[in-house]
Amino acid sequence: MSRKPNQRSLWQVIGLYATFSWVCLQIVDVMTQNMALPSWVFTLTLTMLIIGLPLTAATAYYQGIGSQPRPDSEQASPVSQEGLFTWSNVGKGAVSALAVWGIAVTGWIVFTSQESADSEWDLVTGIEEIRRLVGEYNYPAAYTVAQSLDGMIANDSVRTSMWSEVSRELTFQSEPSGATVLRRDYVSTDSDWEELGVTPLEIKRFPLGLSRVRFELDGYLPRQTADFSGRLADLPPVILDTEETLPEGMTRVTGAESKIWVPGLEQLDALALPDFFIDTKEITNKGYKAFVDAGGYRDQTCWTVPFVRDGQILSFEQAMSGFVDQTGRAGPFGWQVGSYAEGDDNIPVGGISWYEADAYACFVGKSLPSVYHWYMAADPFSTNHVVPLSNYDGKGPAPVGQFDGVTRDGVYDMAGNVREWSSNPDGEAHYILGGGWSDPEYAFNDAMTSPSFDRSPENGIRLVVYPDTTNMVTASGPIEKEFRDYYAEKPVSDEVFEVYRQMYAYDRTPLNAVVVSSESTTTYTSERIEMDAAYGDERLTIFVFLPVSEAASPPYQAVTYFPGSNDIYKRSYDEMDVGRLDYILRSGRALIYPIYKGTYDRASDLNSDIQDETNLYRDHVIAWAQDIGRSIDYLETRQDIDMDRLAYYGISWGGAMSPIMTAIESRFKAAVIMVGGLMMQSVQPMADPFNFLPRVTLPILMFNGKYDSFFPLETSIEPFFATLGTPDADKKIVVTDSNHFVLAYSSNLAIRELLDWLDRYVGPVE
């Protein structure tokens, strides 16, 4: 049985249409994958093809009928179906459908391209903003920007690079484990705590900068720590205490090697201290009144230390006659009628002598902290973030814990509010630490002493408990503080100085220099050179780093570097971190890095940069100056160094040594001192930077931190700057709200000031 012609034509058209549809869908599928078209494009195409199928089939059918001869009476009228379903109309419909499809897809591409361009622009701008904020040490804001950009980034390497600038990986552990870890920014104390997870906890993107971290576990007391992300990464397992193991109102301080990094006490040996407990807040009026009401001033049980004034021992009655309030009743100096003002329950007690503080400690079964323990809990390196949030307003004491300046161990008011007596004597005085509400902010890092009978309103109490008394005798023993009043001291005369200067002279013997090794990176080429030192039979090593920069060509300006004291403890050149100084090289200048006597493989018996009166220290100072001189002698033999444009750059230790180095070496055209100042220890006059300061006449830039615990602003930095012999027009000091580590807190500003100074006085790079 044969098919009718119109049926054969119909099935052929449907087959061709199906094939055409399949090809169209394959093309659209490929376009969707390669052009990232949305899924609706495929759906739109399929819908149009489905709609077109019955229209095409109907046209094929009617056109098939139309091709057969029919009676005149059956001829199609102008409006018949055969007239409507024509191939011409189908073609027009197909063109219209294609136009609609093209307009829809093209419109989407144009719109999303613009949106993508806007998104890309937002991404570039956002990353630049992150870098700006990081340069200003505003990590919380930078982290927030990174969060907003994360969804825009398709490239994993770009995402990884971005997050590395604002976050780091770290792990929190606790004993016992299972504690909930919460975090918030250090400064944003009114923000909510963000729950991070449960210990042991690995965090991939913990914000850089300062954070407060809290540990909570049912059945245990919560514990708080506050620190930089880098130090939190080194945090040992956090020990959680119960009410049975932790005295009320106290917090645990984890034991460690304790070194006192404050001026005048740096020379003390470090002590290994076990865990101890310290009051979270200062002793209040209410707490001290319990001692008064219990007859503490009448009962001699807790007054165990002899009362000594002006070399004379006082009787108990004589001492008590002076420990009275404004109305002659027993109690702190500022009280009346044996009590404090109404409403002052939570104000820290003040106006008490060391003897009263010690008796109160005995009364409650605790102790006054030693200087070692106090500074271990206070952490001088936290100055720049604790002090601004503490009470130094000069108006009076505030309720304990009201100010948000919390330390690493979660202790409040160690900076300001009231001073805190310690157990260590210095003659007839005792150390009283942290400064009070009326003291300058640098008092936080000032190991201040006060007569043991002093009852100033700012004198208060914080107590400790020692579960383990290892090294307590040494920790609580007498301490003699080193201090020099540089405003009162006078540098030696010119005649005497000339004698000292001659001690630094050396013979210009042959260098016998040899290039030991060289290497190249994308930023610099380096050479390690060995030559005869100016003393003994020693060999001096220097590293010469030459910039790889289109902005500069030889002969290069050269910056001679004197590092921080960490170099004294380094023994391998692999520990040399030139990357920290890449801004010198990227500016188009050469960097000269002498290996000073006592550092790296030139280690000696000297184990500290702290000045002292020994011949060993004096001889090293002379050797350091001669190391610089010999290094510059070598530079004179090179054609790629411009000897008319040399600069000195000292950081920390190198800043402290800069008066000697720049007064002795006349070939420097300018100097930059990053965190330098005067030390408090005595030293032989010929090795004393103070005697060299008036002889420094070259242009000099100082960059310092307001909260520097090594070089206090008022007693170390300012007299250094004032004593410089450089004309006022050619010396400058920049002080930022940072601690000793200004290159971490104010890097962009510091680098800009340094490069501007070199451009001005050494000359722009050519």
**DSSP one-letter string for 50-97:** HHHHHHHHHHHHHHHHHTS---GGGPPPTTSHHHHS-HHHHHHHHHHH
pTM of the model: 0.76
Burial 634-650 (b: 16+ CB within 10 A, else e): bbeebeebbeebbbbbb
CA distance 457 to 351: 4
Instruction: Tell me the CA distances in angstroms from 612 to 54, 561, 620, 621, 681, one per residue in order.
Output: 102, 23, 11, 11, 6
Q: Give pLDDT, residue 360.
A: 98
Of the candidates 687, 668, 583, 589, the one whose C-alpha atom is nearest the C-alpha of residue 628 is: 668
In one letter, which amino acid is 243? E
CB 196 within 8 A of CB 231: no
- Quick one: tokens of 9? 């034509």
Question: What stretches of 94-179 adopt beta strand conformation (E)?
Answer: 167-172, 174-175
Contacts of 632 by beta carbon, 8 Å cutoff, 6+ apart: 560, 646, 665, 667
Q: Residue 517 forms beta bridges with which residues?
A: 528
Instruction: Give me the helix-helix angle, 156-166 and 139-149, nearest 10°.
Output: 160
Question: How far is Cα 749 from Cα 732, in angstroms, rounded to an integer?
Answer: 14
Q: Is 310 helix (H, G, I), strand (E, B) or coil?
A: coil
Spatial contact of 41 and 27, defined as CB atoms under 8 Å apart: no
Select from 405, 452, 394, 451 the least CA-distant residue to 282: 405
Residue with tokens 């050494």: 762
Round the CA-based radius of gyration of the chain to a whole number and report it. 39
Output the CA–CA distances (angstroms, integers) from residue 594 to 84, 585, 604, in the order listed. 96, 16, 16
pLDDT at residue 76, rounded to an integer = 45
| Residue 90, pLDDT score | 63
Report the alpha-carbon distance of residue 330 to residue 355 in Å, rounded.
Answer: 13
Residue 189: both structure tokens together: 């104390």
- Helix ranges restricted to H, 154-235: 156-166, 229-233
**How many Å apart are CA 32 and CA 588, to the nearest integer?**
50
Helices (H), 220-284: 229-233
Residues 6+ apart with CB under 8 A from 714: 440, 442
What is the rounded distance in angstroms from the CA atom of residue 143 to the CA atom of residue 137?
A: 11
CATH topology assigned to domain 494-509+545-761: Rossmann fold (3.40.50)
Strands (E) located in 402-496? 419-426, 429-433, 449-451, 459-460, 464-465
Fold of domain 257-475: paralog of FGE (formylglycine-generating enzyme) (3.90.1580)
pLDDT, position 227: 92
Whether the Cβ atoms of residue 392 and residue 442 lie closer than 8 Å to each other: no
CATH 1.10.3110 fits 166-246, yes or no: no
Give the residue among 162, 135, 138, 134 at the shortest CA–CA distance from 149.
162
Q: Cβ neighbours of residue 765 under 8 Å, at least 6 residues apart? A: 551, 552, 557, 587, 588, 589, 759
Q: How far is the C-alpha of 189 from the C-alpha of 403, rounded, in Å?
A: 10
* pLDDT score recorded for residue 117: 44
How far apart CA 396 and CA 381 sit, in angstroms, is 26
Cis peptide before 176 (omega within 30 of 0): yes
Angle ∠(534,539,544) on CA atoms, nearest 5:
95
How many CB atoms lie under 10 A from the CB of residue 426? 16
List the domain boundaries for the chain. Answer: 5-68+77-116, 166-246, 257-475, 494-509+545-761
Positions in the chain short of pLDDT 50: 1-6, 8, 66, 72-79, 113-121
3-state SS string for 371-388: HHHHHHHHCHHHHHHHHH
**Bridge-partner residues for 207, per DSSP?**
167
- Residue 297's closest CA among 359, 341, 364, 349? 359
Q: Which amino acid is at 83?
A: G
DSSP 339: B
Helical residues (DSSP H) of 476-562, grouped into ranges: 494-502
In SS3 terms, 654-701 reads as HHHCHHHHHHHCCCCCEEEEECCCCCCCCCCHHHCHHHHHHHCCCCEE
**φ, ψ for residue 259, nearest 5 deg:** -120, 135
What is the structure's pLDDT at 64?
Answer: 61
- Reference 647, options 526, 566, 748, 562; nearest CA is 562
Tell me the residue type at 751. Answer: I
- Residue 289 CB-half CA count within 13 A: 17
Residue 578: CB atoms within 10 Å: 17
Beta bridge partners of 556: 641
Using DSSP bridges, classify how beta strands 641-651 and 556-562 pair: parallel, antiparallel or unpaired.
parallel
Residue 369: HSE in the Cβ half-sphere, 13 Å Cα cutoff: 28
